[in-house]
Amino acid sequence: MIGTRLAGRYEILERVGGGGMALVYKAHDTLLHRNVAVKVLRQQYVHDEEFVRRFRREAQSAASLSHSNVVSVYDVGQEGETHFIVMEYVEGCNLNDIIKEQAPLQVDRAVHIATQICDALGSAHANGIIHRDIKPHNILIGKNGRIKVTDFGIARAATSSSITQTGSVIGSVHYFSPEHAKGVSAGEKSDLYSLGIVLYQMLTGKLPFLGESPISVALKHLQEDVEEPRAVNPMIPQSVENIILKAMRKSPEERYSTAGEMLRDLETCLSPQRLNEPKWTYSSDGDDEEATRVMPALRVDGQSGAGDELRASADAPVWRNGKYEDPEEEKRSNPWIKPIIWFAVLLVMLGGAWYGVKALQEILIIPEVTVPDVTGWPLEDAKERLEEVGLVVAQPIAEEPSRDVALNHVIRQDKKDPDTAKVNTTIRLVVSTGIEMVTIPPLEGKTKSEAVTALTDLGIPELNIETKEEFDDRPAGEVIEQFPSANDSVDPMTDSVTLKISKGPDTVPMPDLIGKTVDEAEALLEKEGLTLKKENIVEEPAYYPAGKVYEQFPYKPGNPVKPPGEEIMIYVSTGLPDEARVTTYKVTVGPRQEGAESEIRIVVSDAMGDRKEAAKRKVKQQETFSFDVVTSPSKNAVIEVFQDDVKNNHITWTYQQAGEAGGNASSGETAEETQPEHQPEGEQQSDDEITVPGGL
Ligand code: ATP
Ligand code: MG
């Protein structure tokens, strides 16, 4: 077996023990990388199908247990003829070894071990699993001292099979309860009996019942008084002896009713106030139970010693009222007893019925009281008043908001004076939760009408909603502030709400000041609430009519400006700069066709501006048109002549020509041009007569 691998994952390392039905190996689970114990069914049982089935089933049910004092079962498997159970590996020893080497154990140590076993049993019993084979061999003690109980339920697999033939299983008879020894099914209390024996053995170093054969041991469980533990080991406190005596009662009814009950006793038995408690005796009404015990009849199948099987015979004495009773005895008892018992029972029943009728009468005839009117009362006073007259306030008490009734005062009741009600009737009250407040929603960012609708929807009358308009950078009509703030509670009937609404940004459009005089400009600005500082009026020569604004800064016409507009500047022309050259230009032009009439239009683009209409009138014959042109070092003049909207001529008058003609800003000269009737469009330079000084 050593060195083999089971189920492809459990590598068998070494043998750690072996009992009646199985061998136990330490193994390594190569999948989960941990050590495990593998219990392999002995070869001689693998053909006992019933046994194998039970072995697997019990292991599976034990696998459902999870408790710190129970050896966990991980897996159940079969490989060929090898049936195995994989479980938690407990590195340490078993309690049998400890008892053999060290018993009697220290009382607190023994109690501590028993406590952990009892805890494990409690958990198993709660899961419907009975151990059936509590004995020191099945109690493992880990290196850390923790107790782990193993082999839950596995003994059951053996009960109906030939395995009882082996010496080692028969050995368990030292721990069997009387009912188990008789072959009656073992329950939770059998486990507690076995634990009582283990505790006995730990503390005295000996087994309570020893015999030549399993049968004689079983008989002793059934009949014989146990030698009291304190008689063997006087170090055992009375409280601990009491636990052993109670756990080891022969009748299951006289033992602890559950593992939990025994556990509580184990946990407290060493407390100083309990150590010397009185000796526990089973309180029974019957005669001296020990003295009247009758021997059970055990049928012995088979002939001798270790191979014997224990079964209860059909007419075995029965444990009842603290003693084994012979069923025949019962048949011989007094024939009057039964009628007397029946008569007594009848008397008790009649008495009960009479008492019941009296009680019913009291219930049915109930006094009536007038229900006090407690409306408007504080709840506590109202309750007290109603209870005073024997009425009950219905729970839970209904609540309702109210404008008229103060908080926690009664608004109304389902019955009140002059109504009457039977004592103990429940009266329903409705109590005020005070004024129903509403929570103001967040309104900022909403339009005025959205905000007002939201508030009126809450029941706030429009009259109580005030609005104030203010300049703000946010769009006009938007709520920019609210009082009270969002999430505040208000009484919708009395509290008012104020909304601040944006009027939009506080700006005006900049007026167009170009071409205006300073006075005109000031008047226009004033109209918009803007002011013009004296130091912001800049007077300079410019190619612009003198005394007129030719530049406004920094706002162009139409730009938004916030009053009073501290930074507004205007530039006013003081007349042409010295470098300017002014020429009075004369153009002589006639109609397009002789004898007909034509509209003559002259358009000038010069330093003063582009495409200005210099002259326009109708002519029937040649006429001379006279106008001023201004040139600058950077700008020549262009004169366009139209006859009935048809361009007749296009003349460029340069700054240089103007200079040659002697024209300048201070002393303008005149240039004259005579236009031919059908002059083709083209450039022509004028050096015609200069007559009178021009000027603007
Ligand atoms: P029985 O056959 O009546 O159950 P037993 O309990 O002595 O007798 P096994 O249950 O086969 O026999 O166990 C044999 C021994 O193997 C135990 O006494 C114990 O020392 C050891 N053993 C059992 N299970 C484990 C385990 N999970 N971890 C470590 N050792 C174990
Ligand atoms: Mg075992």
User: Residue 52's pLDDT is what?
Assistant: 84
Which residues form the pocket of ligand 1, taking CB atoms under 6 Å from any ligand atom?
A: 16-22, 24, 37, 39, 71, 87-90, 94, 137-138, 140, 150-151, 168-169, 172
User: Residue 258's pLDDT is what?
Assistant: 95
Which residues of the chain fall short of a pLDDT of 50?
160-171, 285-333, 665-668, 676-696
Tell me if 264 is assigned to some domain. yes
Structure tokens at 664: 């300048």
Which residues are CB-contacts of 398 (< 8 A; sequence separation ≥ 6)? 428, 429, 430, 431
Q: Tell whether 121 and 260 lie within a shared domain.
A: yes
> What's the 68 CA to ligand 1 centre distance in angstroms?
18
- Mark which of 432, 454, 473 sits at the end of a domain: 432
**CATH code of the domain containing 620:** 2.60.40.2560
Ligand 1: residue whose CA is nearest its atom 4: 19
Tell me if 668 is assigned to some domain. yes
How far apart (Å, rounded) are the C-alpha atoms in residues 430 and 409?
9
Ligand 1: residue whose CA is nearest its atom 1: 19
Closest CA to 225 of 199, 245, 241: 245
Ligand 1: residue whose CA is nearest its atom 2: 19
CA angle (304 as vertex; 300, 305 as ends), nearest 5 = 100
Nearest atom of ligand 1 to the alpha carbon of 22: 11
Q: Tell whether 109 and 221 lie within a shared domain.
A: yes
How far apart (Å, rounded) are the C-alpha atoms in residues 658 and 581?
6
Match 């012979």 to its residue by tokens: 326
Q: Tell whether 225 and 133 lie within a shared domain.
A: yes
Q: What is the DSSP string of 276-325?
A: TPPPP----SSS-TTTT-----EEEESSSGGG-EEEE-TT--EEETTEEE
Q: Tell whether 512 and 645 lie within a shared domain.
A: no
Tell me if 145 is assigned to some domain. yes
> What's the 69 CA to ligand 2 centre distance in angstroms?
15
Tell me if 325 is assigned to some domain. no
Match 């199985």 to its residue by tokens: 22
**CATH code of the domain containing 117:** 1.10.510.10
Q: Tell whether 556 and 591 lie within a shared domain.
A: no
How far apart (Å, rounded) are the C-alpha atoms in residues 187 and 486?
71
Longest dimension (CA), the chain: 176
**C-alpha separations of 170 from 39, 41, 160, 307, 626 in Å:** 20, 17, 13, 8, 151
User: Residue 311's pLDDT is what?
Assistant: 35
Q: Tell whether 532 and 611 lie within a shared domain.
A: no
φ, ψ for residue 278, nearest 5 deg: -65, 160
Q: Which of 26, 28, 137, 165 to mutate to test the pocket of ligand 1 (most atoms within 8 A of CB)?
A: 137
Nearest atom of ligand 1 to the alpha carbon of 89: 28
The domain total for the chain is 5
- Find the ligand nearest to 95 CA: 1
> What's the 157 CA to ligand 2 centre distance in angstroms?
13
Domain that holds residue 678: 581-692
Q: Which of 140, 141, 148, 149 to mutate to test the pocket of ligand 1 (most atoms within 8 A of CB)?
A: 140
Q: Tell whether 382 and 472 lie within a shared domain.
A: no
- Mark which of 473, 502, 531 sits at the end of a domain: 502
Ligand 1: residue whose CA is nearest its atom 5: 19
> What's the 635 CA to ligand 1 centre distance in angstroms?
121
Active site residue 133: yes
Q: Are strands 392-393 and 368-370 parallel, antiparallel or unpaired?
A: unpaired
Structure tokens at 538: 């800049």
CA-CA-CA-CA dihedral for 390, 395, 399, 404, to nearest 10: 0
Closest CA to 589 of 513, 677, 525: 677
User: Residue 346's pLDDT is what?
Assistant: 77
Q: Tell whether 565 and 486 lie within a shared domain.
A: no
Ligand 1: residue whose CA is nearest its atom 15: 17
- Find the ligand nearest to 171 CA: 1
> What's the 305 CA to ligand 1 centre distance in angstroms?
25
Tell me if 191 is assigned to some domain. yes
Tell me if 46 is assigned to some domain. no
How far apart (Å, rounded) are the C-alpha atoms in residues 72 and 60?
11
Q: Tell whether 372 and 488 lie within a shared domain.
A: no
Tell me if 256 is assigned to some domain. yes
> What's the 153 CA to ligand 1 centre distance in angstroms?
14
User: Residue 95's pLDDT is what?
Assistant: 96
How far apart (Å, rounded) are the C-alpha atoms in residues 476 and 500?
11
Tell me if 232 is assigned to some domain. yes
Q: Are strands 398-400 and 429-432 parallel, antiparallel or unpaired?
A: parallel
Ligand 1: residue whose CA is nearest its atom 11: 19
- Find the ligand nearest to 142 CA: 1
Q: What is the pTM of this model?
A: 0.47
Q: Which of 94, 143, 174 to mutate to test the pocket of ligand 1 (most atoms within 8 A of CB)?
A: 94
- Mark which of 417, 432, 447 sits at the end of a domain: 432
Q: Tell whether 120 and 245 lie within a shared domain.
A: yes
Q: Residue 81 in contact with residue 1, Cβ under 8 Å?
A: no
Q: Which of 24, 65, 76, 174 to mutate to test the pocket of ligand 1 (most atoms within 8 A of CB)?
A: 24
How far apart (Å, rounded) are the C-alpha atoms in residues 683 and 130?
130
- Find the ligand nearest to 168 CA: 1
> What's the 91 CA to ligand 1 centre distance in angstroms?
12
Q: Tell whether 98 and 237 lie within a shared domain.
A: yes
User: Residue 493's pLDDT is what?
Assistant: 86
**CATH code of the domain containing 377:** 3.30.10.20
Q: Tell whether 418 and 466 lie within a shared domain.
A: no
How far apart (Å, rounded) are the C-alpha atoms in residues 208 and 166?
22
Nearest atom of ligand 1 to the alpha carbon of 87: 27
Q: Which of 29, 75, 119, 133 is catalytic?
A: 133
